[in-house]
Each structure stands twice: as structure tokens, then as C-alpha cells.
Amino acid sequence: MNTPTAPLDIDRDPEAYLAWHRAIDESAADALLSQRELAVRAAVRDVVAHEVAPRAAAADRDHVFVHESYQALAKAGLAGLIFPENLSGTGDTNVAYAAAVEEITAGCAATSLVYMTQMHAAYPIMTAGSDELAERYIPGLLTGTTYGALAITEPNAGSDVSSLRTVATSYGNGYRLNGAKTFITTGDKADVIICFATIDRSRGRDGITAFVLDGRWPGLSRGTPLSKLGMNGSSTAELFFDDVDIPLDHLLGEPGGGWSIVMNSVTKSRISAAAQGVGIARAAYLRTLCALKRLHGPRLPDETAFALATLRGQILQGRLLLFGVARQVDLAGAPPVGQIGIMKQSCTDLGWHAAREAVRILGPYGDLAHLGVERCLRDAKVTQIYDGTNEVQRMLIARDTAQAVKEL
């Protein structure tokens, strides 16, 4: 049989990409999607096959920002799925959004990170900002003319948002911002920044306040993009605020009301991370199948076939969990924190596990960059860390369980 030393067909031929992905679709998961949601997924998959997946390996290798890949999705009208039409969105469901992120991730995880960051920046403006702020900033994020960032994490405040030290001081007809943020996705390129700061450190979470920042404002500076393990087609940077003046009309919600905005946004961001986990798992599984077919032909050794069978079942379970919780968000708006945590933790752990299994199954070939499973492994790790580490998710799940027991 042929040794898999050349790039896989799915990275070179869009029709091969589409055929392979159709071949591994699961009807049990597809049954949870409406006709509209299936159509959105098909449209996203087509753009990914032609415009995103072929660029993924080079973007990772050369650490090139995936501008063209995101622009292709935006130009196809696929970047504003959960936003209303008057803001350049399409008014689709969270399930459609989850399916879209999964599809993008399967082709290029870094592109999915840029894609979801645009939504994460736009969503707080829609839910907590004025109509004027929404009309000014959201359409550009969804059409790809501007980039956005969500600035929460600080050097000494990661998952514990209530311990933020970036300070916004009331000043004249607005606020003056001082402090720093780190690990900010697209921070070096962001035209629009949603920044969370405290107006009073002694108040803990009751002091957290959210603002919209224009990336051109004086006093705002950016560090050199950080060198990372994976997601190399996206950028991650530090942000610094030195007496940045924020007009009063750029406040989101009420002073001290930022905590509820964070919690409201967390539901969306954890759907994003969970969808990435499932997409990475699917990519690792598919890439392993493609490589093994080159090595062994259509008939696989029993031990390898059994390992892949286990992965297939686990991926289906992950998709069912992802779509099920996303549907609950559509129906209820605020599902229990425990269920959001189970989805995020389980699906991102799945991505990491599937990528490790793919490397193991392929043996020495699993280490070859052009096969892409090692890229899946590197990309998967950060999904277990951002949007609330999986250790934090387990803590939230445990608290949710304890509360349910108390109520018995």
C-alpha cells in the first residue's frame, strides 16, 4: 500500500472534502436539526471545503492570520447566524450556530476561533448596549469589515472574573480606563473591544462593568502576538490601557452590572468551545480514516477498526450533547449552569481525546504535519482552557448537583 507522505485529498480537493464528510455524517445527530439548520450546515461546509480547509495547513505552519478564510464566511452571509437581520445577521438558532462552528473547526480550528470571537464581541453589544452602539459596531463584525475582541482575562485573574484589577474611574462625562489584559484572541487586530473592568475593587463581582472600546482610541496599546501551541492561524495578544477615555454612551448595561453580562455571554462562548471540541474530534477521526485507507486500502486491521468504532460512537455522543444543550438554550434561554458545564467540559475533552487517539492509531505517521492529526492535538488543548477551564466546569457541575440534592 502507499505510504501517506503526501497531503491528504481532503486538503487539496474540495469535492473529496465534501464526499468524505458526507460519508461520516450520522443520521441520529442530523435528526436533531431542522431543514433550515441542515441548510446552514451545508452552506458552511461548502465554503469550508473551497475556501477554508485548503488554507488551514499553511496558516498553521506559517502562523498567518486566517483573514481570507473568515472573509469567505462573512461574504457568504454566514457570520451572523444568531443576530437579527437589521444588524446584518440571519436570525438563526443556537443549534445552527453550533453546527456551523463544528463545520468550520473540522476544516480549520483557527478560523473557527476567529469566527466565534467575532460573535463573542458582538453579542454583549446586542444584549446590553444601546441601539446606537449596536448599529455602529455589530454590522462590521458580522460582515468582516472589522475585527473584535473580548477582553476579560488578566495576568492575575483568569477564570475568576470577580478579581479583575483593570480599573475604570468615573471622570467627567465618562470613564478613564487603566490596566492590562492578556490572552486576548484577535487583540492585536481588534477594531472593537468589549472590555470588562472594575469600578470598585472592594465590591468584587458587583464592581465589574462592561464597556465598548474603539481600537483607535488614544491610550490603548497592544503587545506582540503570543507564540502558542496551536490555533496558529489566529492571533492572541496582550492589551494595555493607559488613561483611555471612554464616553458614557459606550457603557454596556449599568455601572456594576458587568457580571450579569459576563454570565449571559458565557452560555454562547461555551457553546462555541464545545462545538470546537466536536469539530476537532471529527477532523481527527476523518484524517485518520483517510491516512489508513492509503496505508491499508478499504479493509482495515481489526484492532484499528475497533479503535475507530469507539471514536465514532464517542463523537456521535458529543454531537448529540452539543445539539441538545444548544436546543435547550433556544427554547429556555437560560439552561442550568451544570448542563452548560457538562457540554463544554465533555465536548472539549472529547476533542483532546480523539486527537490523542488519532496520533496513537497512526503510530509513526501520526507525527507527520501534512496529515494534520498532530495539528488537531495542538489545537484541541486550548479549548479545555478558555471559556472557563474544564476544572472550573467540573466545579460548576458539582455545585449544580449539590443544589439539586438540597432541593430534594
The answer to whether the beta carbons of residues 383 and 112 sit under 8 Å apart is no
Share of the chain above pLDDT 90, in %: 86
User: What's the burial of 202, exposed, middle or buried (CB within 10 Å: 0-12/13-18/19+)?
Assistant: exposed
pLDDT of residue 265: 85
pLDDT of residue 268: 85
- For 301, which DSSP code? -
Q: How far is CA 269 from CA 75, 171, 330, in A?
A: 23, 32, 15
- For 270, which DSSP code? H
Quick count: other Cβ atoms within 10 Å of Cβ 246? 23
**Average pLDDT over every residue of 226-235:** 97
Residue 185 confidence class, pLDDT cut points 50, 70, 90: very high
pLDDT of residue 217: 98
Ranking 75-84, 92-101, 162-171, 217-226 by mean pLDDT, the lowest is: 162-171
Query: Which pairs with CB-CB distance under 8 Å and at least 24 residues apart come from 292-300?
Result: 292/361, 292/362, 294/1, 294/2, 294/3, 294/4, 295/1, 295/2, 295/3, 295/4, 295/365, 296/1, 297/1
Q: How far is CA 299 from CA 169, 181, 307, in A?
A: 67, 52, 14
Residue 158 confidence class, pLDDT cut points 50, 70, 90: low
Residue 15 CA to residue 21 CA, distance in Å, equals: 10
Q: How far is CA 292 from CA 14, 161, 359, in A?
A: 20, 45, 12
Strand-strand pairing, 251-252 and 208-214: antiparallel
Choose among 66, 88, 87: nearest CA to 75.
88
Strand-strand pairing, 174-185 and 208-214: unpaired
The answer to whether the beta carbons of residues 282 and 347 sit under 8 Å apart is no
pLDDT of residue 300: 84
Residue 31 CA to residue 24 CA, distance in Å, equals: 15
Residue 1 CA to residue 18 CA, distance in Å, equals: 24
Cell numbers for 301, please give them: 486491521
Residue 247 confidence class, pLDDT cut points 50, 70, 90: very high
pTM metric for this prediction? 0.95
Residue 332 has pLDDT above 90, yes or no: no
pLDDT tens-digit series, residues 374-405: 999 999 999 999 998 999 999 999 999 999 89
Residue 199 CA to residue 186 CA, distance in Å, equals: 25
Residue 151 confidence class, pLDDT cut points 50, 70, 90: very high
pLDDT of residue 159: 61
pLDDT tens-digit series, residues 44-63: 999 999 999 999 999 999 99
Strand-strand pairing, 236-247 and 220-222: antiparallel
Q: Rounded to 5 degrees, what angle do the CA atoms 339, 343, 345 make? A: 115
Cell numbers for 100, please give them: 456551523
The answer to whether the beta carbons of residues 270 and 343 sit under 8 Å apart is yes
Map residue 89 onto helix, strand or coil. coil
Residue 252 has pLDDT above 70, yes or no: yes
